[in-house]
C-alpha cells in the first residue's frame, strides 16, 4: 500500500469503472478486495458458472457454441487453480472477476457473455451456500467418527464404575460407558442440527441477479437442479440480502464446539494427578521444555480453547448482519472468513477428539477407588427407605442425610456404619439395607431406559451404532 492512503490510481476499475473518472485510493485498494480469502470458493464458482452458462444456452440467451467454449474454459481454469499456476489479482477484487477475466483471456467474446442475467450478488450467495453445504457433509463424517470412538469406549467400559458428578461433586455411581454415551447423544443432536441447516440452505439464489431478478427468460429451476439444490429461492431480495444459512451453520457449529470443549475439559481433569481416571496416548499429548516428567493433555486443551474461535465466528457474523438494510451491502463480504475459519477449526477439533478418545486408556482401579469417597450410594439408601420402609421420600431424604453426617463425622462410608447406628436413626431399617449400599449394586439397579446399569449401557451402545454409524 502507498505511504499516502489517499493516493488514487489514475485509472478506474476495469470491473465497474464506466461511470468513474479516477481510480480508488490506496486504502480502498487494500480494504476492498476479497480474493485473499474467497479464492477458496473457486470450485463452487466454476460449478455455478457452468450451470448458468448451460441454462443461458438452453434458453437461447447465448449460443450453444459460446456455452461450449465457456465450459471448456472454466475447466481449464479449474485445472490451473488446482495446479497452482493461476495468478490471482487483487485488482480484480474477488473470485468471480478473477475467473471471468481469465475465462475471457482463454475464450474471448463468449467469456464476456457469461455474466448475462446474473450479478456478483447472486453469485456469491450461491457459491457460499454450495461451500457451506459441502462443509456440513464433511463435518457430519467427522462427528460420526467421534461417535464411533465414544461408542467403542462405551462398549468396553460398560461395567467400569466411576463417580457421576453434579457441581463437580461426587453424586451417584455410574459407569464409564454410560458417561461416554452421553456425549454420543450430544454429537448426534449436533449432526441433526447441521442436517437441518443443510436442508434449509439447499435453495438456489442464482438468477436473483443484483436484487430484483432479471428481464431475461432464464430457467432458475434448471440451474438449481444442476447444482443439486432442492429448488430456487422464492424471493430475489431475500436471495441476496440474507446470510441466515451461514448464521445457522455457525450456530450449529458453535454448539458442537461447546460439546467438544466440555468433553475436552473432562479429559483434562481426568488426566490430572488428582483424578488419574484415564491416560491419553503419546500421539495427543506433549511434554515440557523444563520438566522431564510432564505429559500434558495439550490436544484436549487446544480443542477446549478453539471452541472460542467457532463461537467468535457466530458473534462476528451476527454483528455484521444485525443492522443491514435490504438488500446487499459490502458489509456482507465479511461473511466468508468467519464461516471458513469456524468450519476449518471444527473439522480439526473433531479429528483430534476422535483420535484422543480412540486412544484413551481408562484406569479401572482409580475409577472404582473414586467411588469410595463422597457417599455415592446415599440416594440408594433413601430409595430403599421409600421402597421397603414405606417412608415418604422427603422423610427418607432427611434420615439419609443424618446418616451421611454420622459417617462423615466418624470418617467412614455408609456401608461401614453398623445396623445399630442406622436403627438409632430409624427403627424400620433392617439388615437388608446393606444389599443396596455397594456401588456395583447401585449401578446394576439403574435399569430404566437411559440408565447406567451395564446391560442397559450395552443395549444403548448397540442402538447408538444402529442410529448413528
Residue 145's domain is classified under what CATH number? 1.20.200.10
Tell me, yes or no, if 288 is annotated catalytic.
Answer: yes
Answer yes or no: do 304 and 202 share one domain. Answer: yes
Whether 14 maps to a domain, the answer reads: no
Answer yes or no: do 191 and 292 share one domain. Answer: yes
Tell me the CATH number at 104: 1.10.275.10
Answer yes or no: do 293 and 354 share one domain. Answer: yes
Whether 9 maps to a domain, the answer reads: no
CA dihedral (360, 364, 368, 370) in degrees, to 10, reads -40
Answer yes or no: do 165 and 264 share one domain. Answer: yes
Tell me, yes or no, if 239 is annotated catalytic.
Answer: no
Q: Among the three residues 114, 138, 164, which one is the final residue of a domain in this structure?
A: 114
Per residue in 389-423, pLDDT (tens digit) is 999 999 999 999 999 999 999 999 999 999 999 99
- Residue 239 scores a pLDDT above 50: yes
- Residue 274 scores a pLDDT above 80: yes
- Residue 17 scores a pLDDT above 80: no
Answer yes or no: do 179 and 153 share one domain. Answer: yes
Whether 246 maps to a domain, the answer reads: yes
Catalytic residue among 52, 239, 288, 398: 288
Answer yes or no: do 107 and 132 share one domain. Answer: no
Whether 404 maps to a domain, the answer reads: yes
Cell 461473511 belongs to 335
Answer yes or no: do 208 and 300 share one domain. Answer: yes
Per residue in 18-77, pLDDT (tens digit) is 667 678 888 988 999 999 999 999 999 999 999 999 999 999 999 999 999 999 999 999
Q: Over range 359-368, report the average pLDDT.
A: 97
Answer yes or no: do 328 and 361 share one domain. Answer: yes
Answer yes or no: do 435 and 451 share one domain. Answer: yes
Answer yes or no: do 198 and 67 share one domain. Answer: no
What one-character-per-residue DSSP string does 4-50 give? STTPBPSSPPTTTGGG-SSPPBHHHHHHS--HHHHGGGHHHHHHHHH
Overall number of domains in the chain: 3
Whether 221 maps to a domain, the answer reads: no
Q: Across-strand partners of 121?
A: none
Q: Among the three residues 63, 80, 114, which one is the final residue of a domain in this structure?
A: 114
* Cα radius of gyration (the chain): 31
- Residue 7 scores a pLDDT above 60: no
Per residue in 133-165, pLDDT (tens digit) is 999 999 999 999 999 999 999 999 999 999 999
Residue 2: predicted pLDDT: 46
Domain of 154, in residue numbers: 120-216+227-369
Q: Among the three residues 114, 142, 163, which one is the final residue of a domain in this structure?
A: 114
Query: CA 408, CA 402: separation in Å to the nearest integer?
Result: 10
Burial of residue 109 (CB within 10 Å: 0-12, 13-18, 19+) is exposed
Tell me the CATH number at 422: 1.10.40.30
Residue 26: predicted pLDDT: 87
Note if the pTM is more than 0.85: yes
- Residue 10 scores a pLDDT above 90: no
Whether 174 maps to a domain, the answer reads: yes
Whether 5 maps to a domain, the answer reads: no
Cell 455397594 belongs to 438
Per residue in 171-188, pLDDT (tens digit) is 999 999 999 999 999 999
Answer whether 388's CB lies under 8 Å from 177's CB: no
Whether 186 maps to a domain, the answer reads: yes
Catalytic residue among 2, 34, 167, 398: 167
Task: Respond yes or no on whether the N-terminal peptide bond of residue 278 is cis (omega within 30° of 0).
Answer: no
Beta strands in 297-404 (DSSP E): 361-362
Q: Over range 237-246, report the average pLDDT.
A: 97
Amino acid at each position: 500500500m502507498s505511504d499516502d492512503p489517499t493516493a488514487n490510481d489514475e485509472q478506474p476499475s476495469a470491473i465497474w469503472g464506466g461511470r468513474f473518472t479516477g481510480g480508488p485510493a490506496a486504502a480502498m485498494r487494500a480494504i476492498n478486495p476479497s480474493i485473499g480469502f474467497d479464492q477458496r470458493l473457486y470450485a463452487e464458482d466454476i460449478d455455478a458458472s457452468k450451470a448458468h452458462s448451460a441454462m443461458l444456452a438452453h434458453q437461447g440467451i447465448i449460443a450453444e457454441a459460446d456455452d461450449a467454449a465457456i465450459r471448456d474454459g472454466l475447466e481449464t481454469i479449474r485445472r490451473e487453480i488446482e495446479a497452482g499456476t493461476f495468478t490471482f489479482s487483487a485488482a480484480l477484487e474477488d473470485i468471480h472477476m478473477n475467473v471471468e477475466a481469465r475465462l475471457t483471456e482463454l475464450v474471448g467474446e463468449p467469456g464476456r457473455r457469461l455474466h448475462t442475467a446474473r450479478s456478483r450478488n447472486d453469485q456469491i450467495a450461491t457459491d457460499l451456500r454450495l461451500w457451506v453445504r459441502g462443509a456440513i457433509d464433511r463435518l457430519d463424517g467427522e462427528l460420526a467418527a467421534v461417535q464411533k470412538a465414544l461408542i467403542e469406549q462405551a462398549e468396553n467400559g460398560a461395567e467400569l464404575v466411576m463417580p457421576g458428578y453434579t457441581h463437580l461433586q461426587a453424586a451417584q455411581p455410574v459407569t464409564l460407558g454410560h458417561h461416554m454415551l452421553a456425549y454420543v447423544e450430544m454429537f448426534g443432536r449436533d449432526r441433526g442440527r447441521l442436517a437441518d441447516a443443510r436442508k434449509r440452505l439447499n435453495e438456489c439464489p442464482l438468477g436473483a441477479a443484483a436484487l430484483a431478478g432479471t428481464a431475461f427468460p432464464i430457467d432458475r429451476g434448471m440451474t438449481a437442479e444442476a447444482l443439486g439444490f432442492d429448488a430456487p429461492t422464492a424471493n430475489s431480495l431475500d436471495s441476496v440480502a440474507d446470510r441466515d444459512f451461514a448464521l445457522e451453520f455457525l450456530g450449529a457449529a458453535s454448539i458442537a464446539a461447546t460439546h467438544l470443549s466440555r468433553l475436552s475439559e473432562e479429559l483434562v481433569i481426568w488426566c490430572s494427578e488428582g483424578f488419574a481416571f484415564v491416560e491419553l496416548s503419546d500421539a495427543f499429548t506433549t511434554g515440557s521444555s523444563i520438566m522431564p516428567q510432564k505429559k500434558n493433555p495439550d490436544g484436549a486443551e487446544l480443542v477446549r480453547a478453539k471452541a472460542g474461535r467457532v463461537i467468535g465466528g457466530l458473534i462476528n457474523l451476527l454483528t455484521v448482519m444485525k443492522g443491514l438494510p435490504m438488500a446487499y451491502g459490502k458489509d456482507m463480504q465479511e461473511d466468508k472468513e468467519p464461516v471458513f475459519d469456524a468450519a476449518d477449526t471444527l473439522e480439526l477439533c473433531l479429528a483430534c477428539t476422535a483420535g484422543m478418545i480412540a486412544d484413551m486408556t481408562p484406569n479401572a482401579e482409580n475409577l472404582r477407588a473414586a467411588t469410595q469417597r463422597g457417599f455415592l450410594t446415599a440416594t440408594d439408601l433413601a430409595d430403599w427407605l421409600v421402597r421397603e420402609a414405606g417412608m415418604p421420600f422427603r422423610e427418607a431424604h432427611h434420615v439419609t442425610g443424618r446418616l451421611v453426617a454420622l459417617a462423615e463425622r466418624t470418617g467412614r462410608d455408609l456401608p461401614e456404619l453398623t445396623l445399630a447406628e442406622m436403627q438409632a436413626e430409624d427403627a424400620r431399617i433392617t439388615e437388608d439395607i446393606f444389599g443396596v449400599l455397594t456401588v456395583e449394586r447401585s449401578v446394576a439397579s439403574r435399569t430404566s431406559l437411559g440408565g447406567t446399569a451395564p446391560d442397559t449401557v450395552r443395549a444403548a451402545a448397540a442402538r447408538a451404532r444402529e442410529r448413528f454409524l
